[in-house]
């Protein structure tokens, strides 16, 4: 499929039957062409326990001159596909910055935006770079540090092989 520039919807149960030798099983439900060469794919709510199987984003590697050049890098393409029914449907097709590597689709009713976050809401937050530190309890190591581009509160920290490390970065 990598060279076919397609997204394919499968019936997993039929695919298992086909793998076991059932010639009557039809594992492919539908195919849809994308432009061109899908590199990364993401489903709606797919990074949660509430994956819903409604939409798929295909982040594609080549746009084949579908968009005007905007500098040394040419835009690539991302395509939003409705996968909820038996037939997949392309619902959005647009340019994206070169080399798209991550996308996420979540329901808007679960987004709780804020302009400014209160650090008191995060008890482990490191509020000042001088409070950066490393705490060790046996093999459990917790690193507390800040990040303000391009610097981190700790330039380095050392660990031992086999340590279980938690990094809290504010």
Contacts of residue 22, Cβ cutoff 8 Å, sequence gap at least 6: none
Nearest to 79 by CA among 46, 42, 34: 34
Out of 62, 91, 110, pick the residue that ends a domain. Answer: 110
Which sign, positive or negative, has the C-alpha torsion 94, 100, 101, 102?
negative
160: exposed, middle or buried (Cβ count in 10 Å: 0-12, 13-18, 19+): exposed
Across the range 28-52, mean pLDDT stands at: 91
Q: What is the mean pLDDT of residues 14-25?
A: 97
Structural domain of 70: 6-110
CB 100 within 8 A of CB 73: no
Q: Do 69 and 33 sit in the same domain of this protein?
A: yes
Q: Are residues 97 and 128 in the same domain?
A: no
Q: Does one domain contain both 21 and 93?
A: yes
Q: How many domains does the chain have?
A: 2
Q: Is the residue at 1 inside a domain?
A: no
Q: pTM of this prediction?
A: 0.65
In this prediction, residues 39-59 reach a mean pLDDT of 92
pLDDT for the residue numbered 14: 97
Are 90 and 126 contained in the same domain?
Answer: no
Where a domain ends, among 93, 110, 127?
110
Quick one: 145 and 104 in the same domain?
Answer: no
If you average pLDDT over residues 42-59, what whole number do you get? 93
Same domain, 95 and 138: no
Task: Confirm whether 159 is domain-assigned.
Answer: yes
Whether residues 63 and 18 fall in one domain = yes
Q: Is 16 domain-assigned?
A: yes
Domain identity same for 81 and 57: yes
Q: What is the mean pLDDT of residues 12-27?
A: 97
Residues of the chain with pLDDT > 70, as a percent, come to: 98
As a whole number, the mean pLDDT across the chain is: 90
Q: How far apart are CA 55 and CA 43, in angstroms?
A: 6
User: Higher confidence at residue 120 or residue 10?
Assistant: 10
Rounded Cα distance between 121 and 28, Å, is: 48
Pairing of strands 6-10, 28-33: antiparallel
What residues contact residue 126 under an 8 Å CB cut-off, 6+ apart? 132, 144, 145, 146, 153, 168, 169, 170
Report the pLDDT value the prediction gives residue 2, as an integer from 0 to 100: 59
- Shared domain check, 128 and 52: no
Asked which of 35-44, 56-65, 81-90 is least confident by mean pLDDT, the reply is: 56-65
On whether both 106 and 162 belong to a single domain, the answer is: no
In this model, does residue 140 exceed pLDDT 80? yes
């Amino acid at each position: 499929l990598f060279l076919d520039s397609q997204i394919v919807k499968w019936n997993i149960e039929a695919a298992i039957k086909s793998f076991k030798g059932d010639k009557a099983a039809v594992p492919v439900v539908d195919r849809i062409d994308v432009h061109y060469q899908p590199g990364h794919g993401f489903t709606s709510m797919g990074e949660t326990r509430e994956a819903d199987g409604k939409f798929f984003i295909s982040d594609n590697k080549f746009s084949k001159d579908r968009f005007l050049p905007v500098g040394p890098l040419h835009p690539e393409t991302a395509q939003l596909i409705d996968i909820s029914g038996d037939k997949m449907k392309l619902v959005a097709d647009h340019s994206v910055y070169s080399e798209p590597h991550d996308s996420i689709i979540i329901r808007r009713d679960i987004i709780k935006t804020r302009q400014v976050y209160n650090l008191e809401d995060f008890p482990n937050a490191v509020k000042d770079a001088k409070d950066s530190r490393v705490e060790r309890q046996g093999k459990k190591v917790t690193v507390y540090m800040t990040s303000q581009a391009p610097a981190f509160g700790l330039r380095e920290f050392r660990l031992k092989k086999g340590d279980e490390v938690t990094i809290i970065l504010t």
